[in-house]
Chains A and B, each alone.
Chain A
Amino acid sequence: MTLLLVVAIPFVTAIGIATFGGRLGRRTIGGLAVAGLALSFGAAASMIAALRVRPSLEATVGPWLPITGAELALVVDSSMLAVTLAITGVSALIALYSIDHLAQDRRLQRYFAAFALLVGGMLLVVLASNLLLLVAGLQLAGIAAYVLVGHHANDGPAADAATRVLIIGHIGDAAILAGAIVLFTEFHTVDIAQLGGAALEHGTSAGSAPVIASVLLLVGAIARSAQAPLHVWLPESTEAPTPVSALLQTVLVTGGVILLMRLRSILVPDVLQAAAIVGGSTAVGAALVAIAQRDVRRVLAWSTISQVGLMLVAAGLGALFATRFQLIAHALFKAVLVLAAGSVRRVTPGASDVAGYGGLARPMRWTVVAFGVGTLAQAGLPPAAGFFSVAAIASAAFSQSDVLLTAVVLAAGGAAAFAGVRLFAVMFVALGTGRRVGRSAPLEHIALAILAIGALGFGAIVNVGILPIGSGPADAAPPWLLIATFAAAVVGSVAAGLIYRRGIVAAARAERCMRWARSGLGFDALYARGIMRPFAGLGRELERGAERSLDDALEGIGALVGRSSRAMGRRSFGGRAPPMVLVAGAVVLLAFWTWTGQ
């Protein structure tokens, strides 16, 4: 029952706001949304005790589709409960932040309705008992994201970004759906637990269907978690309002990772390995791109891609604890970073180019502290959570004696540290105008404070076992690996600090060196040239070629019939048939009858 409430409350909140929100005040709507998400969080938290006793809880609403296993049912175990808590908690705080941040907005009804819908959809992804319901959750979240990203679509970029979010998300969903159905045709159920059992039973002897299904599911996960080459929607989505960015980068982007975590026992090993490889290469590449960005929002978005890549590595390696840990830790610190950066942008006149900042340390004391904590976490410096998660992933890679992947993880950690510290240094440490306009916003501060505390303390909390997110802590790693992780983080941080302590202008040479990575390693151009343009061309050709020729053919038939009709009309009867016709007709009849009469 409680389990149902966890998912139902966000949906009810969304529907309620969408239906009756027009009559409520702006802050009331926001309050409702926060209350709803907080209630959901509370409901989830209340299950902690129960899950200490039992391995999992289930709740069934009723039958859904006429397909085995496709019921409206939820299931939760302790690891997914942790993810649930992270999603509800972080999103509640982001909603709280939004109340002040978007105080001037006219369309808060739509905003908060979509917000709650997105959270509800993601909760379905975490808690659904079967794959089809999971896909439905992903799709709902995707559509909510579309609405949210398009929220301020007065300008072209946001509308483009929203469309991109929708379509790439849909590609992922379609792949996952197809994968789910391939699994269904093979194992005759879509229930995730049953599928796991069936896959275990059949082992590798089940033929090609599990492989096809696994590949499709991986494609879906890649699209949903913004991994290369389907990552292009996430950097674009930063055109959205700050809280939306935060929500996308902490909650929505984890969809693919959650999928991999839940389906781990179903996917074939090779595909899991591929997931790790995709995640690792994305992690390194995106971190490099993040370093090169000038727009603060893009820096954060690219480093999100990188961090999620690490999650994929962990999930692919089967290190579920590390995945979970990284997921939650990242949700906390990335929320801090994005929201703090948003607060800065809100009160700072000018663009979001990092060059426009500087000298904000004094006027925005508390924001700086929060951003600092976030940076610490992203950099992977203890005691913040990031350190533990990177270490856990590295040790997971190493324990499978995958040296290359270990190195990749460490490199990504170092690059993340560089990117984080670079941003912090440029925005707050370096000199600048230090001007701020606009009022202060207490709710923003509260939200930031709670998130920052979480980001700071989460790792420690888990490691002393207060939160039941499962076993397998980082201390299983050899000590030198911990040291190496730490060293990578320190090197990255110190290097960034040295280069950028005087601001971005002073670091012109370093910036020049990284210009090649700024455009996102050419993926956008590749898409434009390799997919969008051919596709548009195909559409044009179909319209001009096939459809028009079909039309012409039909018109041609019509014209032909019309011509022959006119020709006949000139000649045919109506009293003008001469008697010769009679004679000729009689002769023909005679001839025919004589011929057939023999």
Chain B
Amino acid sequence: MDRAVIAAVLWIPLIVLAACALPIAGLARVLAVLSGLATAVIVATAAWTGYGGDWTGTVSWAGPLGATGAIGGSGWTAALLMASGVAFAAGAAAGGDLPRPRAFFALWSVVQVAIGGVLVARDLILFVAFWQGLIVPLALLMWLWGGADRRRATIRLVAHWMVADALLLTGVLALGVGAHTFAVADLASYRLGAGSQVVLALLFLAAFAMRLPLFPFHTWSPRATATAPIPVAIVLVCVIPAIAIFGIATVCVPLFPKAMLDLGPYLMGLAAVGALYAAILALRQRDLRALVAYAGVSQMGLVAIGAFGATPNGLQGALLGTVSHALAVAAVVVLVAALASRTGSFGISTHGLASQPVLAALFVVALLATVGLPATGGAAALILVLTSAFARAPGIGLLASLVAIVSAAYAARAMRSLLPSPTEVRGHDLGWGERAIVVSLLAIVVGLGLAPRVVTGLADRDLPASTERSR
């Protein structure tokens, strides 16, 4: 990845944003889908041909503030850019008929730029700028296109995020002012005392934990997911957790190696307990979207165990799990929307999809893929995360195994509503468009399960910088 690739990542959505001004029906959505795919393809090509290597450069912006404007792309960046690109494409394609589509996709493109920016920023000020720039368009998307409970959900989300970001900003400034630079690469070689490392790491982690979302900061997630329009729900449960994990793995771990090592067991424990908690609550949800949200909290808790563990295997598992989770959950949300459009509600009840066999079959596969169906990326990631957990704290490993069991239970509960039943759902089977989205998402997820090294290799690229020192 070099300047050209990064420029493409940021400019493609901006071009879509501009094109949203054109009054052509349906153009905005098509372009939004294409922009997501284009990002993924460009980054994939660059990452796997090794084009540009792990390039780092600068943009000139706000120099007097001390912002170096460093940008760059490592393995994590590439993997998550690809995953988010695909998720954005799927989300844009899956929206159904939205009112005021041009305005929607204009804001959507802004979100996409912000996510891309977070992933390529290697300067903390720039990182925070993109990180916070995400909030406004996302809040507007939720407020203006959301469902019944959108006001409270949006306010809850915004308040949570902004409070956590306040801590992040404080941490960034305290670190950067002390070190006289904000570039991650330079900060990584800046020696900090153990005490200040812990304090700063906690400030940073607050923001990442909030986005992840980590128990007990998760309450915004189910509400927001249950009320957001489907494309935005996909962003909330797929992409936002991804950038949180990205922050933990590529900011916290390299900058605060000692603190992450010391805090590791506690954080892993919190993540494991939270994962179990969310899994149990997922079991009790009556709204499929809330179930997906709690399931996401649970699964990302497992992924976070790997990231907090910060062993090579843990980080590999975290990246693989994030990518795989993003794609699998995107597929689930698309299917939930499809199901709801046929039954008229998002509730869990017996649907009986006798005349929609494809929908039913894909739903089962997608749900199981989110909880680690074997031969999917999720299962491979779980193995890697467990390896890391058992190596660092066997008790947490056992707890994580327990989560895997409970997650099978909530998946079963969701699937049970799809088993044949006397009350059959009317309506067509899954349309070809939705079929194409879901099948391609699941194909990637299964592919990741069979060839996980494609992604874990990308995580390894960052390893020398991040884990060796923590040892």
Q: Are A177 and B277 in contact (CB under 8 A)?
A: no
**Alpha-carbon distance between A295 and B361 when the two chains are bound, in angstroms:** 32
Complex interface bits, B443-465 against A, C-beta within 8 A gives 1, otherwise 0: 00000001111001100100000
Q: Are A154 and B420 in contact (CB under 8 A)?
A: yes
Q: Are B384 and A167 in contact (CB under 8 A)?
A: no
Which single member of B156, B405, B453 contacts A170 (CB below 8 Å)?
B405
B373, CB-defined interface residue at 8 Å: yes
Q: Give chain A nearest CB distance to B317 CB in angstroms.
A: 9
Residues of chain A with a CB closer than 8 A to B219's CB: 547, 550-551, 554
**Alpha-carbon distance between A177 and B373 when the two chains are bound, in angstroms:** 13
Residues of chain B with a CB closer than 8 A to A153's CB: 419-421
Residues of chain B with a CB closer than 8 A to A184's CB: 387, 390
| Given A153-B421, A546-B277: 16 more A-B contacts, CB < 8 Å | A64-B380, A64-B452, A66-B384, A66-B457, A154-B421, A154-B422, A162-B412, A163-B412, A170-B404, A174-B404, A177-B401, A178-B401, A185-B391, A542-B280, A542-B281, A554-B156
The answer to whether residues A547 and B419 also contact, given A65-B380, A67-B313, A139-B379 and a CB cut-off of 8 A, is no
**Alpha-carbon distance between A199 and B453 when the two chains are bound, in angstroms:** 28
Q: Which 9 A-B residue pairings sit nearest by Cβ, starting from the closest?
A: A139-B374, A170-B408, A136-B374, A153-B419, A178-B401, A174-B401, A163-B412, A181-B390, A174-B404
Q: Give chain B nearest CB distance to A334 CB in angstroms.
A: 26
The answer to whether residues A140 and B374 also contact, given A67-B384, A177-B401, A178-B401 and a CB cut-off of 8 A, is yes
A38, CB-defined interface residue at 8 Å: no
Q: Are A163 and B452 in contact (CB under 8 A)?
A: no
Q: Are B391 and A66 in contact (CB under 8 A)?
A: no
The answer to whether residues A181 and B386 also contact, given A66-B316, A107-B357, A150-B419 and a CB cut-off of 8 A, is yes
Residues of chain B with a CB closer than 8 A to A550's CB: 216, 219
**Alpha-carbon distance between A170 and B410 when the two chains are bound, in angstroms:** 12
Q: In the complex, which range does the number of interface residues on chain A fall in?
A: 35 or more
Q: Are A540 and B284 in contact (CB under 8 A)?
A: yes
Which single member of A65, A132, A212, A539 contacts B284 (CB below 8 Å)?
A539
**Alpha-carbon distance between A152 and B421 when the two chains are bound, in angstroms:** 9
Q: Give chain B nearest CB distance to A21 CB in angstroms.
A: 10
Contacting residues of chain B (144-162) with chain A, CB-CB under 8 angstroms:
156, 159
A contact face: mostly helix, strand, loop, or mixed: helix
The answer to whether residues A66 and B390 also contact, given A140-B374, A178-B398, A543-B284 and a CB cut-off of 8 A, is no
B contact face: mostly helix, strand, loop, or mixed: helix
Q: Give chain B nearest CB distance to A144 CB in angstroms.
A: 11
Q: Are A175 and B420 in contact (CB under 8 A)?
A: no
Complex interface bits, A66-82 against B, C-beta within 8 A gives 1, otherwise 0: 11001010000000000
Complex interface bits, B335-347 against A, C-beta within 8 A gives 1, otherwise 0: 0000000000000
Which residues of B are in contact with A by a Cβ distance under 8 Å? 156, 159, 216, 219, 277, 280-281, 283-284, 312-313, 316, 354, 357, 361, 364, 368, 373-375, 379-380, 382-384, 386-387, 390-391, 394, 397-398, 401-402, 404-405, 408-409, 412-413, 416, 419-422, 450-453, 456-457, 460
**Alpha-carbon distance between A159 and B456 when the two chains are bound, in angstroms:** 38
Interface centre among B159, B277, B382, B390 (most CB of A within 10 A): B390
Contacting residues of chain A (478-531) with chain B, CB-CB under 8 angstroms:
none
**Alpha-carbon distance between A132 and B317 when the two chains are bound, in angstroms:** 15
**Alpha-carbon distance between A66 and B159 when the two chains are bound, in angstroms:** 40
Q: Are A181 and B404 in contact (CB under 8 A)?
A: no
Residues of chain B with a CB closer than 8 A to A159's CB: 416, 419
**Alpha-carbon distance between A22 and B382 when the two chains are bound, in angstroms:** 34
Q: Offer 30 A-B interface pairs, CB within 8 angstroms, sorted by A.
A: A63-B453, A64-B380, A65-B452, A65-B456, A66-B460, A70-B383, A107-B357, A109-B357, A136-B374, A137-B374, A139-B374, A143-B368, A143-B373, A162-B412, A163-B413, A163-B416, A170-B404, A170-B405, A171-B405, A174-B404, A177-B386, A182-B394, A184-B390, A185-B387, A185-B390, A539-B280, A539-B283, A550-B216, A554-B219, A558-B159
Residue of A nearest to B407 (CB): A170
Residue of B nearest to A152 (CB): B420
Residues of chain B with a CB closer than 8 A to A297's CB: none
**Alpha-carbon distance between A159 and B352 when the two chains are bound, in angstroms:** 12
Q: Are A66 and B453 in contact (CB under 8 A)?
A: yes
Which single member of A66, A152, A171, A539 contacts B456 (CB below 8 Å)?
A66
Contacting residues of chain A (122-155) with chain B, CB-CB under 8 angstroms:
132, 135-137, 139-140, 143, 146-147, 150, 152-154
